[in-house]
Structure 1
Amino acid sequence: MEAAYLPPEILLDIFHRLPAKSILACVCVSKYWLSLIKTHDFIASHFNQQSSISSSSPHPLFLIRLCFSFRARENHYFLRRDDREFTHYAEVKTIPPIVNDRSFSVVGSCRGLVCLMHNLYTSNYTIALWNPAIGKTITLPKPGVTFETHGGFESLLGFGFDSSTRDYKVVRVVRLLECEEIAIEVEVFSLNAGSWKRITSAAPQYNIVERGSQAFVNGSVHWVARRGSNNNEGYKNVILGLDLQGCEERFRELELPESLKSDSPMYLTVCGYKESTIAVFKRRYLGEPESQIWVMEEYGAVKSWVRMLIIETYDGEVPRALGFRGNGEVLFEIAGGEIVSGDPESFEVSELGLWGVAGYSFVGSFMETLDLLDR
């Protein structure tokens, strides 16, 4: 008996409704099915379909990385629903060696892909993109600015998505240390092109925080930076943004609240807030009584900064902000590496049953995608 024939438009309609795990099974059925699925257009339309389904769900997913002991070099990745109980959804079972190595830190997550970098980044230039849904990882080519080419440097990375060209981009900002004045080099990796390009001419000459935090919001990557003043007022902190949309990436500067401009930038963490704006977490230092969280309620409007939360020490330790939940609660790493959820209005703290080695945990939004399947 001949196998039943289904027109390609019917097959594609079915495939669009399937989760990533089922799609992986389908590509093994026949070369014809593989040819329908493993295309840039199908992967894009499948993501749009799954995104529509996910947006209708009241409880999206978070991807969480935990390391359970100093001796064990393995990482563990879990998916949790953003509901009241932070319900366990699944554990990521297939973890490539480069992702499982504790020598790698998570730069950020975006549209279902995770960007990681080696912790010894001044001598090991390995950067990887990982898709947990399909278990695939790619390693980026070596960047152009290295110790061999430019001498000593400090660097930080950013990771985001160019919706105009449907392209994932990794940004590398490098401050050269063997120059008398501030010297910044900037490189952008395009997944579509598979290569790095230099955009140093567009880069403002700011001091950076090596391996500092980053947030991808409104099409731009954001970092905390420190710039010198032209009117002898000294240095001040700013949020430095790089618009990833289009072929000509553009920098912009967002002012911080007055009380954050003169702090050490090492104690400031930038993160996304409700997918449409940014927040800054200020860790207390030098005997200060509290930490603070500031939110820019209207993205780009300097006057819209509000202090949302004041945090005292928790069991003698200063909490580390990991991100925000959909209901506005803040995810913290506290003493002993426990992850908790804090309500900024009631100041109540909820335990989530998550523990790991302090300083290694990561929490980021997650959505299934087939990206990297065609790479």
Structure 2
Amino acid sequence: MVLSALIPDELIMDILSRLPVQSLVKFLCVNKSWRSLITDDPAFKALNFHLHSSDTNSNYLITIPNEFSSETRLCTVIFRNNNNNGEVSNFVAKEIEIPFRTPTHFYRVLCSCNGVVCMSGCGIYTNIIDSLYLWNPSVRNFKMIGSCTPPGDTNIMITRHGIGVDHRDHDVFLLIIRIIFYYDVYEGTYNGEKKPYTEVYSLNTNSWSRIHESVVVPCLASDQPTAFVNGAIHWKALSFSSRRCVIMYFNTSERVFGEIRLPVNAFDSIVGNQWRPTVFKGLLAVIVISRVFPASRKKICDIWIMNEYGVVKSWTKRFAIPITLEDTLFVRPLGITKNDQLLLDLDGKLLWYDLDCQQGWILGFHGVQAVNIIGSREFGEIRLPVNCFDHMVRLHWRVTVFKGLLALIVISRIHPASRKICDIWIMKEYGVVESWTKRFAIPIPLEDTLFDRPLGITKNDQLLQDLDGMLLWYDLDGEQGGILGFYGVQGSFDVDTLTDSLYLLGPTRE
């Protein structure tokens, strides 16, 4: 008799639900009953996701280039690794291939929920999106979804999407909401005579259904990723009635829209547009970038929590996190993971901040070793080497690690009219500014590059640079390198936070 036949089904479900997603995918070929449980039982999927959603190793960051110039479609996954004592020790990165190919070679992240990414093959300035791709990187499968654009002039249409759990389908199936706004030329607004066209795609029924025209869409939604909480999808939006920034929501059970006002005086008038809705410990939250005081160059990241959903007076500022890089021009909130990790994009550098232990790291989109920038739960700062910057290209620098030491990669010039050079500075004694030493001065072989972005140094001492979308590899020990070819369009990446899940969208890739 087979051993599994002697074990009660309830016990098998309890045991398997405690295993990580990657292990469960391997079990699909072990036993037919196990395969049916893992792939077809909605209750099992929900239980597994609930048990693992806050695990450090189940939450990860994915960065996806918007365009590829070669046949290889690799994106980077970054997650925090635990040591033998169960404590977080470092960051680990690996490359995975996007399993589908778009006709346009564009890859754009629209939104995500429960480990599933909703993507399109259209460029960032495309108004109408007809084809969507659902992709679960954890189980390496995907599903292509087609849709029909309503008749009319597509030049006056813009499309917005959101993804969430369908509460009409026992909270286990996903749905996508698609909104088409029409621009009224005479009124100069998207809230003209022709009302938005809305429809919902259900993963359960594999079909689109139109939302009745009587359902009012009260806001113009942003094209930024959405947040799903309290049974609703939430967008950063502009209210048609008040002309103010609000959060628009779509309730997946009642199939209705609404708006939620933001905290009073939460915005800085200069950087007021740098905010986004997110989720923190199961509550609706907002990440807002502002300044310490009006005349200051120092920015701060405020996190507001709505303690009672829908009650504006319950907004509470929970965190005020200083951004230590003063020269940062572009700060983009990326969200909060399910295990309470805040993610910010600082001029292309990734700030990863643990909201529980109040520690943060600067690391790159390509998995460069992280640098802990927090000590004793307080922020600190380290001054850079004197005269290390070229005033023409001073923004092209980044923090990294070389042979266990804090290091700095700086793009500069030998003299103002000359070609560029890559300097690598090493801090021999941590925290001692006088110990900065220029260790390398590497000429950049391409004279006419416009965009030079340092990507970092690998643990085996390989320098990586982005030169107008071409990858420069340079061995610092052997002092030799070369151009590896195009890997993506310069500086054009989508970043999203995901959690391992068992949403199977198609055949699993072994």
* TM-score bracket, shorter-length normalisation: 0.7 to 0.9
* 2:304 aligned counterpart, secondary structure: strand
Residue identity opposite 2:79 in structure 1:
R
Residue 239 of structure 1: aligned partner: 247
Q: Deviations over 1:203-225 (max 9, x none)?
A: 2342333x234211121111122
Structure 1 range deviating more: 75-84 or 211-220: 75-84
CA 1:37–1:351 in structure 2 vs 1: closer, same or farther (change >3 Å)? same
* 2:146 aligned counterpart, secondary structure: coil
Alignment of 1:1-375 (within 5 A): 4=2, 6-7=4-5, 13=13, 16=17, 19-28=20-29, 32-33=32-33, 36-37=36-37, 40-41=40-41, 44-54=42-52, 57=55, 60-67=58-65, 74-81=73-80, 85=88, 87-88=90-91, 91=94, 93-98=96-101, 103-120=106-123, 121-145=126-150, 151-165=155-169, 166-178=172-184, 180-181=186-187, 182=191, 183-199=195-211, 200-209=213-222, 211-229=223-241, 235-245=243-253, 248-259=254-265, 267-282=274-289, 289=297, 290=299, 292-298=301-307, 299-307=309-317, 308-309=319-320, 314-325=326-337, 330-335=342-347, 337-342=348-353, 349-352=360-363, 354-355=365-366, 358=491, 360-373=493-506
Structure 1 or 2: larger helix share? 1
Q: Distance in 2 between matches of 1:343 and 1:34?
A: 36
How many residues are treated as equivalent by the alignment? 360
Shift of 1:128: 1.0
- Alignment RMSD (CA, Å): 4.1
* 1:50 aligned counterpart, secondary structure: helix
Structure 1 range deviating more: 58-67 or 273-282: 58-67
Native 8 Å contact 2:166 2:174 kept in 1: yes
Residue identity opposite 2:135 in structure 1:
W
Q: Distance in 1 between matches of 2:359 and 2:104?
A: 35
Structure 1 or 2: larger strand share? 2
CA 1:368–1:46 in structure 2 vs 1: closer, same or farther (change >3 Å)? same
Shift of 1:129: 0.7
Residue identity opposite 1:78 in structure 2:
V
Structure 1 gap segments, 5+ residues each: none
Q: Distance in 2 between matches of 1:108 and 1:61?
A: 16
TM-score (norm 2): 0.59
Residue identity opposite 1:324 in structure 2:
I
Identity of aligned residues (%): 22
Residue identity opposite 1:190 in structure 2:
S
Native 8 Å contact 2:80 2:91 kept in 1: yes
Shift of 1:52: 4.8
Residue identity opposite 1:91 in structure 2:
K
Structure 1 range deviating more: 149-158 or 95-104: 95-104
Shift of 1:10: 5.3
Shift of 1:291: 5.8
Residue identity opposite 2:182 in structure 1:
L
Q: Deviations over 1:224-250 (max 9, x none)?
A: 222244xxxx622211111112xx412
Shift of 1:25: 4.3
CA 1:320–1:39 in structure 2 vs 1: closer, same or farther (change >3 Å)? closer
Native 8 Å contact 2:60 2:78 kept in 1: yes
CA 1:301–1:123 in structure 2 vs 1: closer, same or farther (change >3 Å)? closer
TM-score (norm 1): 0.77
Q: Which has the larger radius of gyration?
A: 2
CA 1:92–1:46 in structure 2 vs 1: closer, same or farther (change >3 Å)? farther
Q: Distance in 1 between matches of 2:238 and 2:224?
A: 12
